[in-house]
Chain A
Amino acid sequence: MNDIATYNFAYLDEQTKRMIRRAILKGIAIPGYQVPFASREMPMPYGWGTGGVQVTASIIGPDDVLKVIDQGADDTTNAVSIRAFFKKVANVAVTTDTATATIIQTRHRIPEHPLTAGQVLVYQVPIPEPLRFLEPRETETRKMHALEEYGLMHVKLYEDIAKHGRIATTYAYPVKVEGRYVMDPSPTPKFDNPKMHRSPALQLFGAGREKRIYAVPPFTDVVSLDFEDHPFEVQTFDQPCALCAAENVYLDEVILDDHGGHMFVCSDTDHCEKRREEGHRGHLAPEMMEPAQ
């Protein structure tokens, strides 16, 4: 006997996995519908991805290759911690390379590299209910989904236009899945919404605190809500990535000094590194800078 506490493969016990697995299957069968599940306490606080971690733990097997991103980055606290967690409790291979990963757990970004069939994208979701800030009562929002009564959401978008002249929602932009359920794509920038539409990869969403799982199967219509005269459009950036000169990717602003200096760099670190390996250079890449005095 050793004195070290032991735990099951991938941390969760088998009955919990079965319960989550059944919820995932229902979620896939009813795209965009939020399936209630008995979320467990995980060894990390709510808000750190307990829903995504439970989904990943329930689907992962010994042959999987896991990638975890946090706002597109592989090297931030949340991503590093969750990757280390699964390396420890499931002993699986981990990677930062989007193309070779079989499961990608993400917090609020979809990788720039196109996903392929057979990959699973697991989203960490804080508030799964897209109508929650419009109607706080679960009994009411559930009825609204049941009756496909989404007028309130359109009123909200219309009020944006009335106040700001355009739809001001930039992240967690509501989508309609397969013409039926309005769904929160988790707080991804609306830049990523078009990537969800007819993606070859399976997309699973886990909300631990709110105890909901939902899914978008591959090749499923995911349409961002809009109006005929105010069509949905994504953010555009007027300069390329400062490190790898990539265009048409999502950029993060990085503050450089306290004199207003800043630069825009790829939010997807794996994509940025790959491009720099290929020899692409942005105007602030180290090789492009004047040698220090």
Chain B
Amino acid sequence: MDIAAQSIEGGFADPVFNAQAVFRAVMDAMARPGSLQPVAGFARPPAPLSATSGAIALALCDNDTPLWLDPALHASTPVVSWLGFHSGAPLANTPADSHFAFIATPAEMMALDGFAQGTQDYPDRSTTLILQVGDLASGALLLLEGPGIETSATIAPAQMPRHFVEQWKQNNKRFPRGVDIILATSEGIACLPRTTRIKTMEA
């Protein structure tokens, strides 16, 4: 398939209902951190953007939301033109200008504090990070506590950023500023809002 066709194919077949279904999955995941919310394969973006993160982009991003793409995604012309064609979202000049950041290789990503953190007055002006992880079971086991979690939840996402637990503690300390994370796997999504506290499980 040539690049022009790649950037046009693979959008939502039913934009209204697909966007609603994807949003509800994200909302439920954000309200219940650590829970896996299934997202059906509504979108077929070009690699290396995954179907799940592509669906999130189509559901939430538009010309009001500058995007930041990690080097792996940014280097892919089909991905950039697919996002441009379907969402109309501009690319942010720096990570700190972005509303959403899509990261295909979280293990190599930059530090969380490089993204927009919001201000003390307007903590909502922060970046939401979409991390494409392989699964939520094969990585280091994380114990989650905080709003949305009755007692505790566990999650073990693979290929997470380096020193993630330490970085996340710093993210917690910036509250109400800070970033929120959506973990996108092929089965669905799980979220880590900035209120979630992470403890590592002792082996």
Which A residues fall within an 8 A CB radius of B? 8-9, 14-15, 17-19, 21-31, 33, 35-36, 58-62, 117, 142-143, 145-147, 178, 180-181, 200, 202, 216-221
Contacts and interface: CB of A to CB of B under 8 A. Distances in A.
B193 A146 contact: no
Contact of B19 (A17, A29, A143): A17
Most buried by A among B20, B123, B126, B149: B20
B59 A146 contact: no
A142 B124 contact: no
A141 to B, nearest CB: 10
A219 B61 CA distance: 29
B120 A25 contact: no
Given A8-B16, A146-B121, A178 B195 contact: yes
A33 to B, nearest CB: 6
Interface residues of B, number: 39
Contacts of A27: 124
B65 interface: yes
A22 B60 contact: yes
A28 B128 CA distance: 13
B24 to A, nearest CB: 6
B17 A25 contact: no
Given A18-B19, A28-B31, A29-B195, A178 B147 contact: yes
A218 B26 CA distance: 15
Contact of A25 (B21, B27, B119): B27
21 contacts: A9-B17, A23-B124, A25-B27, A25-B30, A26-B124, A28-B148, A29-B30, A29-B193, A30-B194, A35-B124, A36-B124, A60-B20, A61-B20, A62-B17, A146-B119, A200-B150, A217-B31, A217-B147, A217-B148, A219-B147, A220-B147
Nearest to B181: A29
B30 A180 contact: no
Interface in B116-133: 119-124, 126, 128
Interface in B1-50: 15-17, 19-21, 23-24, 26-28, 30-32
